[in-house]
Amino acid sequence: MSNWSPKILAIRIHSLAATFSRSYHRNTALHHPPTGPPKLSPYDVNCILRANEHSQEFFGGSVKSYDSNQLASNSPIEDSRSEASCVHTSGLLVGIFDGHGGPACSQVISKRLMRYIAASLVPPDDLRQHMLGGAQSFSFLNCHNDKLEFVTEIKELYEKSFNQFANELTNTTLAGFQMHQTLENAFVRLDQDLSREAVEMPSLRTMSVAMSGAVALVAHIDGPHLHVASVGDCSAVLGTVTDTGQWVAKKLTNEHNSDNVGEVRRLLSEHPATERDTVIRGERLLGQLAPLRAMGDFRYKWSREQLEQLVVPQFGEQVIAPYYLTPPYLSACPEITHHILTPRDKFLIIASDGLWDTMSAMQTVHLVGEHMYGKAFLQPLKLPKQDITLGEISQMLSTRKAGLQKKPLDRNAATHLIRNALGGTEYGVEHSKLSHMLSLPQDIVRLFRDDITITVVYFDSEYLRNCPT
């Protein structure tokens, strides 16, 4: 703490106080649920928790499967998620997008950002041939859980922006390819396109995206190479097992908020010293926005003149934040981590902050690790094809009987995490607590829990043991 400047120390103190105030209701609900009979039956609880779950298996490559799920707090939910295999390369993309100020930006970037990244990974000469052949943005991905589609009006606009971006990519040189730069360029370019579309073609749809915002985390997995790109406060955690069978949680991301001293220093360095007391007030950007990096949110990026011309007539003077002097204040440039997977790396958890509000990275890794081993007992017992004695069968049945005590209630690991996040106690999941958290009225539920979106990606240890790096 002695290395912190007085300004950063003051911001940190304000941040801790505000965080305590914001989390008071949530902690009260999580640790002290009201007495009385549960409002929901176990069947009702399971229906709610499993309504949005999805699982996908793969054959060949470093990824065996993934589980994903989300539970709404806001109505409509402001989180989005995407999972897709790249068509022209061998990578898998998984993303979590946590919106604010409405779901528009989150929903749009969850589809478009993956397409920008997938196209960026295709060698320029190959990409040129695809574009000459009439390839469209969606043709670069095989989406596994995509239930949304853009309306025709906005789809054509987005396709035009994608074509321009892709055609510019064909002029790059393969020798200069860097994964970090590729991911960064996709994030920043999409954000620039969102801005340009709203400025050049203002409409209810383009402006709703521009005035809302979203933090984003995208993981790209190709063989042993894992890249994670993040803006905002979603998190990625790697579950690794040691020689002695102990679980280790390796966090691959940093939250871009006022709790991050390095991020505060970065932001303050980009503005005049005269604004050191106003760039962050309380724990928020200009006293308003919690994340210090995000996509969209152009009310913190456009010039004052643009805001007065495009936004104020529709939304009023209050759209311009106090002390709005030297924009942009908000960045869409991601922080990127590269990790080379080993056979000890068993799974990756990515999630919006609704999960991390309730449990630590180590808790999530323990829960998924236990679930991974316990899930084997959800499968029917299969005897080996070779000859087997009655004694060996008896031993298998004894082992299975002991293992059934650890059998998880949910097949989907993301559902397992949500169940424990909302209903977990030191003695296990408590139904009355879980029922209470799932039956809160819509007008107050946001005080007690946030939208939760989770994807758990499982790695193939045998593949990683034999593949070259």
pLDDT at 464 over 80: yes
Going by C-alpha positions, the residue among 117, 65, 34 that lies closest to residue 336 is 117
Q: Which helix (H) or strand (E) holds 237?
A: strand 235-241
pLDDT at 361 over 70: yes
Percent of the chain with pLDDT over 70: 86
- pLDDT attached to residue 401: 59
Could you tell me the pLDDT band of residue 14, with boundaries at 50, 70 and 90?
Answer: very low
pLDDT at 179 over 90: yes
- pLDDT attached to residue 37: 66
Helix axes 104-120, 204-211, angle to 10 degrees: 90
- pLDDT attached to residue 83: 98
Cβ neighbors of 102 (< 8 A, separation 6 or more) are: 78, 208, 211, 212
- pLDDT attached to residue 18: 46
Report pLDDT digits (tens) over 372-382.
987 655 556 56
Report pLDDT digits (tens) over 39-53.
899 999 999 999 999
| C-beta of residue 423 within 8 angstroms of C-beta of residue 430 | yes
Q: What is the mean pLDDT of residues 250-269?
A: 97
Q: pTM higher than 0.85, yes or no?
A: yes
| C-beta of residue 352 within 8 angstroms of C-beta of residue 79 | yes
Could you tell me the pLDDT band of residue 292, with boundaries at 50, 70 and 90?
Answer: very high
Domain residue extents for the chain: 42-256+330-466, 257-290+295-329
Q: What is the mean pLDDT of residues 316-336?
A: 97
Class of domain 42-256+330-466 as given by CATH: alpha beta
pLDDT at 129 over 80: yes
d(CA 239, CA 246): 10
Q: Which helix (H) or strand (E) holds 364?
A: helix 361-374
CA-based R_g, the chain, Å: 24
Give Dmax (Cα) for the chain.
83
- pLDDT attached to residue 304: 97
Going by C-alpha positions, the residue among 404, 455, 52, 75 that lies closest to residue 228 is 455
Q: What is the mean pLDDT of residues 224-230?
A: 98
| C-beta of residue 4 within 8 angstroms of C-beta of residue 12 | yes
Could you tell me the pLDDT band of residue 156, with boundaries at 50, 70 and 90?
Answer: very high
- pLDDT attached to residue 11: 45
